[in-house]
Amino acid sequence: MTTTTLDGGAAAPSKSNLKSRLRRAERLRKLKAVGLVAPLALFLLVVFVVPIGNMLFNSVDNGSLRQVMPQTAASLAQWDGEGLPDEATFAAFADELRDSRSGGGLGSVGRRLNYEDSGYRGLLMRTLMALPPQSDDWRETLIDIDSAWGDTATWRGIKAAAPPRTDRYLLASLDLERGADGEVQRVDEEDRLYQAVFQRTLVIAGGVTLICLALGFPLAYLLATLPAKTSNLLMILVLLPFWTSLLVRTAAWIILLQSNGLANQTLMTLGLVESPLQLVFNRTGVFFAMVHILLPFMVLPLYSVMKGISPSYQRAAVSLGAHPFAAFWQVYVPQTVSGIAAGTILVFIMALGYYITPALVGGPADQMVSYYVAYYTNTTNNWGMAAALGSILLAVTLLLYLVYHRLVNRKQMIGS
Amino acid sequence: MKRDLNHPSQPITRLARGVALGGLFTAGLAMSAGAQALTVISFGGASGDAMEKAYYGPFQESSGIELTPGDYNGELSRIRAMVETDNVSWDLVEMESPELVRGCFEGLFEPIDWERLGLGDVLIDSAFNDCGVGTFVWSTVLAYNADELDSAPTSWEDFWNVEDFPGKRGLRRGAKYTLEFALQADGVPASEVYDVLSTDEGVDRAFAKLDEIKEHIQWWEAGAQPPQWLVAGDVVMTSSYNGRIAAAQEEGTPLEIVWDGSIYDLDYWAIVAGSDYVDEAYQFIEFASQPENQAVYSSEIPYGPVHPDALDELDDEQARRMPTHADNLDGALAMNTAFWVSYGEELEQRFNAWAAQ
Amino acid sequence: MALPPYASPVERIWFWVFRSFCGLVLLFLITPVLVIIPLSFSSGSFLTYPLPGLSLRWYQEIFSAGPWLDSLKNSLIVAPLATLLAMAFGTLAAVGLNRADFPGKGVILALLISPMVVPLVIVAVGMYFFFAQVGLLNSYTGLVLAHTVLGVPFVVITVNATLQGFDFNQMRAGASLGASPMRVFFTVVLPQIVPGVVSGGLFAFATSFDEVVVALFIASPTERTLPIQMFSGIRENISPAIAAMATILILLSTLLLVTMELLRRRSERLKG
C-alpha cells in the first residue's frame, strides 16, 4: 500500500483528467482490497479447496474398473447388454482379474462392484482362486468356476461400473436410483433415508440458530450496555463453557437431563411433573446440548457489534418523543444487523456439521448428515457415498449462504 | 487416492505442492521425521492401558525393539489413506473384525504368514484370519441392573418382555447385534440366526420383532454409554460390551451379565500393507500371543484370551468373567463377519430409516 | 444500563423481566460446567451422581507424567499458533472485503467460509492426501495449518461484522496525514475492530482446542492433542479424568480472565 490515494495535486486538474484520476484511484483501491484478501484466498486454495475438491470428486468418480481392468471396461462398454459378452471380453476379464491381485486393484474393483450387488466380492475371490493360467475357452472356464458368470445380470453389473463417471452416489444420497431401464426412480420406501436426514439437518440447525438468537441477543445487549467491570465478569461465564471439551459438556447434559437426572429430580421435587420427562436421547436433548455449545458463537459477534454502537442515536430518538421500545426496535436493532448476520451464520453453519453431539445425546431420528458421512468414510470405506452426501450438504449450505448474504446486504443498505 | 494423480486437477495439485514446498512451510519437514520405531495403534482407554502393561512394556524390554504406542477410534479410512498415499506410519493396528475383513480384501493389510509367526495352530479357531491374528475375545451381552428389577432376566425373550420387566432398555444404535438379538427373542436358536437373517423374510421378521419394543428402547452410540446408563438407573437392561460391566461389578455396582444369547467377536492385530517394520510386527504379535502375556492382559480387563492355556493362568473367578470360558460360550453366538461385510451397508440404511420413523 | 429514577412502572417491570431472563441464560450456560466439577473428585470411574466417594485419583492421573500432560502440551503448542495465523489471515481478508467492491466477492466469501461447511471427516481425509504429498503429515506444522484453515472463517465472519460500521475514510485521513499503511492499520483500524478480532480468535482457539477428527488423521502418536486423549477409549469408557482436566482448565482460564480484568481496572484507575 502506498499513500497515493487522493493526495490532492496542487494544480486544479481539468475535468476529464479528474475523471480518469478518480477511476485510477478507484481501481487502485480495488487492487489493494484484492491484495488484502489474496493471502487467505491463496492459502485456502492450496490447503483446503484443492485437497477437499479431490476428495469430493469421489462422489462422481467411477474410475476403478477402468483403471484396473481397462480392456474389460472397454469391451463391456461396446456390449449391448443382451446375451453373454463375447469370448474376447471373457478372456480380457480373466487376464485382468489375475493381474489385479497385486497393488490393491482387486480391492478397489471389488469395493466398486459390491455397490451393484453384495455378491461380487465373494465371486471375484472364488474365481481368482480357481483361475487356471491358460484356457482355450474362457467363457466355459469361468462359467465352470462359478455359474454366475453365465448370468447376463452379472455382466450388466460390471458394465454399470465401466463408464468413467457415475451419478449413483449422488442419486443414492437423495434416495434415488436408476431402475433396470435406466430411468431415475425413488428407492424402496423402507430404504428411504437421506431426504429426511437432509431435512432434519436443516431443521435442527435452523432451530438451534433461532434459539441461540433469542437467548443470545438480550444477553449480548446486557453485556454491551453494562459498565465494563460488571460486564467483563459476566463475560467470564459466557466464555467458561469454551474450556470444557465437547465430551465433557455432552456428559454433563446427560447427567442433567436423564430420567432420574438433576433436572427431572428438581421438577418432581417441585411437584411440577409426576413422572420423569424424557429430556435427552431425543430432539430436546439435542437442542439443549447444541444451543449450549453454540450460544457463545452468537453472543460474541453480537457483543462486538453492539460495543461499537453509540447510545446517542437511541437517546435522540427517545428525546424526540419515540417510545423507548420503538426507539430500540427502529433505531438500535437495525444497527446490529451485521452482528445478527454474523452470529446466525456462524451458529447455523456450525450446527449443520455437528454429529458427535447428536450421536451421543440424540435419538435415532436426530442424526444429522455428517453422522452418515462419518459412517461411510470411516467404517465401510465407501468414499463415494461420503463425498456425495458431503457435496450436497456443501452445495445446499453455500446456496443458502449466498441468498442470505444478498438479503442481509439489501437490508443493511436500506438500514443505512 | 493414487488414481487421483491422473485426474484433471493434478496440475493444480502440483502447483499447490510447489507453493507449499517452496514457500512458507519448509520448516515442517524438519519436524515431520517421526520416531523410528514400531508404531502400535490400539483403541486406547482401559484396554490400551492393559496392553501397555501386558505387551508394550515387556516386549520392549525383552526384544530391545523400540515401540511407539498410539490410539484411534477404528477409522479404517485413515489406514486406507496411508496405504494409498504410500505413507505408512502405523505398523500394527488393532482391528475389529468387519473392518479387518473389508480392509484385507481391499489390500490394506499384509497377509499373515502363519508359518513365519511360529504359533502353530494353538490359538482358538477364529483367531486365524488371512490378514489378522486374533488377540482377544469380547462379547456383546445382556446386562442389567439388579437393583432396578424384581427378578433376573435370563434371555433376549425377557429383554422383549416389558410387562414382567418394566423399564427402558438400551441397544446399540445400528443394525449389527440388534437384528441378531431380535431374532433370538423371536425364538430363533443361536445357531440359525444368520441363516434366517440371510433371507428377506428373516430381515422383515427381525424388524417386526423390534417394532414391539421400539418405544422402550434408548439407543446407545459409544460403548461407554450403556454401563453408565445402567449405573445411573436410566435403563434397567441393555446390550453392552462385557468388559466395562465387569469393571463396574468390581466397583461394587449391582450390574449383572446374561451370557446366554451373547454375541462374541475378536479384535485382531493387523500389519498395515507397506509397513517398514514387518519383522518387528511379527515378533510383537508372537509375543502378544503367548499365554502368560495374554493372561496378564486378561487379568487387567475381562476380555478373553485367544490362547487357550492363558485361561489356566487366571484364577477361577477371573476366568468365569471371560467370554471364552466354557460356561459362557454355551448358547453364545459368534459374530458372522462375512455376513456383515456383505450386507452391512444396506441393513444399516434400512435400520436408520426404520429407527427414525 | 441502570434503571433511571424516573422510569415508569412498565419500564420497571420490563427492566426486571429482562434482567431475570439474562440471568437464566447465564445459568443455562454455567450449570453443565458446575455439574462436571464435583465429578472430577469422584472415587469411582462413572460420571454419575451420587458420588461413591471422594478422591483425587483423577487428578493424580492427569498430573502424573504421561499422555494427559503430553497432549495438553501439544494442544497448547498447536492452538495458539493456529489462532494467530487465523487472526492474521482472517483480519486482513475481512478488511480487504470491506474496502471495496470487486467482482466475485460473493464467491470469495463463500470460499472463505467453506471450511466450516464441509463435514470434518471429509476435510480430514482430503487434507491427509494433500499433506502426504507435501510431507507435512505427522508434524506440528501440518496440524497448525489444518487448524488454521478450520479457524479462519470465524475470524473473517466476526471481523467482517465489526467492520460494517467502520468508516474507511478514516484510513484515508490517516494516510493523508502521512502515516504509513501499517501505522494506519494498527493505530486507526485495529483499535476499533478489536472486539471482533478477539472474538474470532477465541473461536479459532476453541475450535483447535476441541477438534478431534482432523487431528486424528494429521497427527502421529507423538503429536496427539488433548481432544484425542479425551476420546481415547470411548469404545469402553468415558473417564472422569476428562472432568478433572476440564476443572483445571476452567480454573486456569478463570484466573487468567480475572487477572486481566483486575489489570484493566488498575490501569483505568491510574489513568483516571
Which of A369, A245, A239, A358 is CA-nearest to residue A295?
A239
Whether B28 shows a pLDDT value over 60: the answer reads: no
Q: Residues 71 to 100 of C: which have CB under 8 A from any A CB?
A: 89-90, 92-93, 95-97, 99-100
Do A392 and A254 share a structural domain? yes
Helices A283-307 and A194-225, axial angle in degrees (round to 10): 40
Q: Residues 105 to 134 of A: which have CB under 8 A from any B CB?
A: 106-108, 110-111, 114, 118-119, 121-122, 125
> What residue of A is the nearest CA neighbor of B274?
A103
Element (H, E) at B329: helix B326-329
Task: Tell me the CATH number at C223.
Answer: 1.10.3720.10
| B136, B306 Cβ separation under 8 angstroms | yes
| B188, B201 Cβ separation under 8 angstroms | no
Q: Say if residue B290 is exposed, middle or buried (CB neighbours under 10 Å; 0-12, 13-18, 19+).
A: middle
CA angle A332, A333, A334 (to 5 degrees): 95
- Looking at the partner chain, which of C125, C221, C237 has a beta carbon nearest the beta carbon of B81? C125
Residue A410 located in a structural domain = yes
Determine whether the interchain pair C115/A297 forms a contact, defined as Cβ–Cβ distance below 8 Å: no
Do A339 and A233 share a structural domain? yes
DSSP 8-state code for residue A187:
P
Determine whether the interchain pair B7/A379 forms a contact, defined as Cβ–Cβ distance below 8 Å: no
Query: What pLDDT score does B276 carry?
Result: 94
- Looking at the partner chain, which of B17, B78, B231 has a beta carbon nearest the beta carbon of C217? B78
What digits encode the pLDDT tens for the residues B251-282?
889 999 999 999 999 999 999 999 999 999 99
**Cα-to-chain-centroid distance, residue C267:** 26
Chains with 3 or more CB pairs closer than 8 angstroms to C? A, B
- Write down the ipTM of this complex: 0.89
Residues of A in contact with B173 (CB under 8 A): 364
Q: Does the CB of C244 have a partner CB in chain A at under 8 Å?
A: no
Q: Which domain holds residue C111?
A: 66-239
Q: Does the CB of C227 have a partner CB in chain B at under 8 Å?
A: no
What is the sign, positive or negative, of the torsion defined by CA atoms of B29, B34, B35, B36? Answer: negative
What is B34-137+266-326's CATH number?
3.40.190.10
Distance, first Cα to last Cα, chain B: 37
Residue A5 located in a structural domain = no
Do A105 and A219 share a structural domain? no
- Looking at the partner chain, which of B83, B343, B356 has a beta carbon nearest the beta carbon of A364? B356
> What residue of A is the nearest CA neighbor of B204?
A190
CA angle C121, C126, C130 (to 5 degrees): 145
Q: Does the CB of C44 have a partner CB in chain B at under 8 Å?
A: yes
What digits encode the pLDDT tens for the residues A182-233?
899 999 988 899 999 999 999 999 999 999 999 999 999 999 999 988 898 8
List the single range of A402-406, B186-190, B280-284 with lowest mean pLDDT: A402-406
**SS3 label, residue C233:** coil
Which residues lie below 8 Å from residue B221, measured CB to CB, with a gap of 6+? A359, A360, B172, B173
Residue pairs between chains B and C whose CB atoms are closer than 8 Å:
140
Q: Does the CB of C236 have a partner CB in chain B at under 8 Å?
A: yes
* Cα–Cα distance for residue pair C211/C121, rounded to 1 Å: 11
Residues of B in contact with C130 (CB under 8 A): 13, 16
Q: Say if residue C107 is exposed, middle or buried (CB neighbours under 10 Å; 0-12, 13-18, 19+).
A: exposed
When pLDDT is averaged across residues B62-86 and rounded to a whole number, the result is 91
| A89, A72 Cβ separation under 8 angstroms | yes
* Cα–Cα distance for residue pair B224/B237, rounded to 1 Å: 15
- Looking at the partner chain, which of C47, C117, C178 has a beta carbon nearest the beta carbon of A398? C117
Which residue reads 425364538 in cell numbers? B187
What digits encode the pLDDT tens for the residues A150-166?
999 999 989 989 899 99
* Cα–Cα distance for residue pair B181/B141, rounded to 1 Å: 10
Q: Which residue has the higher pLDDT, B82 or A327?
A: B82
Residue A91 located in a structural domain = yes
**Cis before A276? omega within 30:** no
Which residues lie below 8 Å from residue A231, measured CB to CB, with a gap of 6+? A222, A223, A224
Residue A289 located in a structural domain = yes
Query: What pLDDT score does B8 carry?
Result: 38
Determine whether the interchain pair A190/B353 forms a contact, defined as Cβ–Cβ distance below 8 Å: yes
- The cell for B86 is 504410500
> Could you state, in chain order, the average pLDDT of each consecutive group of 10 residues for chain C (272 residues)?
70 89 95 92 89 92 89 93 95 88 80 88 92 89 95 92 81 84 84 87 91 91 90 86 91 87 82 65
* Cα–Cα distance for residue pair B315/B309, rounded to 1 Å: 12
Q: Does the CB of B231 have a partner CB in chain C at under 8 Å?
A: yes
What digits encode the pLDDT tens for the residues A85-134?
999 999 999 999 988 877 678 888 988 998 888 888 889 988 988 889 88
Determine whether the interchain pair B43/C136 forms a contact, defined as Cβ–Cβ distance below 8 Å: no
Confidence of residue A412 (pLDDT cuts 50, 70, 90): low
Beta strands in A167-248 (DSSP E): 176-178, 184-186
What digits encode the pLDDT tens for the residues B293-331?
999 999 999 999 999 999 999 999 889 999 999 999 998
CA angle C174, C178, C182 (to 5 degrees): 65
**SS3 label, residue B32:** coil
List the single range of A5-14, A23-32, B119-128 with lowest mean pLDDT: A5-14
Residues of A in contact with C204 (CB under 8 A): none
Superfamily of domain B139-262+331-356: Periplasmic binding protein-like II (3.40.190.10)
Which of C34, A373, A379, A359 is CA-nearest to residue B224?
A359
Do A293 and A154 share a structural domain? no
Do A155 and A252 share a structural domain? no
Determine whether the interchain pair A375/B348 forms a contact, defined as Cβ–Cβ distance below 8 Å: yes
Helices B76-84 and C120-134, axial angle in degrees (round to 10): 30
- Looking at the partner chain, which of B45, B75, B232 has a beta carbon nearest the beta carbon of C236? B45
What does the mean pLDDT of chain A come to? Answer: 88
Residue A282 located in a structural domain = yes
Q: Residues 119 to 158 of C: which have CB under 8 A from any B CB?
A: 121, 125, 128-130, 132-142, 145
| C61, B242 Cβ separation under 8 angstroms | no
The domain tally of chain C equals 1
* Cα–Cα distance for residue pair B334/B312, rounded to 1 Å: 23
Query: What pLDDT score does B6 carry?
Result: 37
Residues of B in contact with C48 (CB under 8 A): 228, 231-232
Residues of A in contact with C228 (CB under 8 A): none
Task: Tell me the CATH number at A293.
Answer: 1.10.3720.10
Which residues lie below 8 Å from residue B116, measured CB to CB, with a gap of 6+? B282
* Cα–Cα distance for residue pair B231/B227, rounded to 1 Å: 6
C-alpha dist (Å) from residue A156 to A70, A117, A181, A260, B345: 16, 11, 12, 57, 22
- The cell for A271 is 411437584
Whether A265 shows a pLDDT value over 80: the answer reads: yes
* Cα–Cα distance for residue pair B314/B320, rounded to 1 Å: 9
Residue pairs between chains A and C whose CB atoms are closer than 8 Å:
323
* Cα–Cα distance for residue pair C103/C87, rounded to 1 Å: 25
- The cell for A20 is 480518469
Q: Which residue has the higher pLDDT, B331 or A405?
A: B331
Beta strands in A111-251 (DSSP E): 176-178, 184-186
**SS3 label, residue A380:** coil
Chains with 3 or more CB pairs closer than 8 angstroms to B? A, C
C183-C185-C189-C195 Cα dihedral, nearest 10 degrees: -110
Residues of C in contact with A249 (CB under 8 A): 32-33, 36
Interface test with C, best of B71, B234, B235, B251 (most C CBs within 10 A): B71
What digits encode the pLDDT tens for the residues B139-179?
999 999 999 999 999 999 999 999 999 999 999 999 999 99
H-assigned helices in A242-282: 246-257, 262-269
| A40, C93 Cβ separation under 8 angstroms | yes
When pLDDT is averaged across residues A331-359 and rounded to a whole number, the result is 90
DSSP 8-state code for residue B262:
E
Whether B3 shows a pLDDT value over 50: the answer reads: no
> What residue of A is the nearest CA neighbor of B109?
A104
Q: Does the CB of C220 have a partner CB in chain B at under 8 Å?
A: yes
**Cα-to-chain-centroid distance, residue A414:** 32
Do A144 and A235 share a structural domain? no
Residue C29 located in a structural domain = no
**SS3 label, residue A396:** helix
> What residue of C is the nearest CA neighbor of B13?
C130
Q: Which pTM does this prediction carry?
A: 0.89
Per the document, the length of chain B is 357
The domain tally of chain A equals 2
Query: What pLDDT score does A414 carry?
Result: 52
* Cα–Cα distance for residue pair A249/C48, rounded to 1 Å: 14
C-alpha dist (Å) from residue A72 to A110, A112, A186, B311: 14, 15, 31, 53
Residues of A in contact with C120 (CB under 8 A): 353, 370
Q: Say if residue A76 is exposed, middle or buried (CB neighbours under 10 Å; 0-12, 13-18, 19+).
A: buried
Strand partners, B305: B136
Residues of C in contact with B44 (CB under 8 A): 232-233
Distance, first Cα to last Cα, chain A: 29
Q: Which domain holds residue A254?
A: 194-415
H-assigned helices in A147-187: 152-160, 168-172
Determine whether the interchain pair A245/C230 forms a contact, defined as Cβ–Cβ distance below 8 Å: yes
What is the sign, positive or negative, of the torsion defined by CA atoms of C5, C10, C11, C15? Answer: positive
Query: What pLDDT score does C168 carry?
Result: 78
- Looking at the partner chain, which of B107, B218, B345 has a beta carbon nearest the beta carbon of A107? B107
Residue C51 located in a structural domain = no
Considering chain B, tell me which residue range(s) the CATH 3.40.190.10 domain(s) occupy: 34-137+266-326, 139-262+331-356
